[in-house]
Amino acid sequence: MEKILLTLSLLVTCFWLISPSSHVSANSLEEIKAAGKLVMGTNAEYPPFEWVKMEKGEQQFVGIDFDLAH
């Protein structure tokens, strides 16, 4: 019974990973440029890759990762 559940959960995970709905919908660089923005997720606690810098009372996210994204 445990093998069946393990196999079933493995199959569901595989189908979820390859399903089109789990991927970014932009198909080309032109679509990203047309949207005018690039959404990036990060944990800004690891200098020099990314960190939070206060400038004029506002948070600025800076670091190598953000330089690469720009």
Write down the pLDDT at residue 63.
92
Write down the pLDDT at residue 15.
74
Say if residue 48 is preceded by a cis peptide, omega within 30 of 0: yes
* Residue 60 falls inside a structural domain: yes
Write down the pLDDT at residue 59.
92
Write down the pLDDT at residue 58.
93
* Residue 12 falls inside a structural domain: no
* Residue 49 falls inside a structural domain: yes
- Range(s) of the domain holding residue 52: 32-70
3-61 tens-digit pLDDT:
888 888 888 887 777 765 545 556 678 888 888 887 788 888 888 889 999 999 999 98
d(CA 60, CA 53) in angstroms, rounded, equals 5
- Looking at the structure of the chain, the number of domains it has is 1
DSSP letters along 22-59, please? Answer: GS----SHHHHHHHT--------EETTTEEEEEETTEE
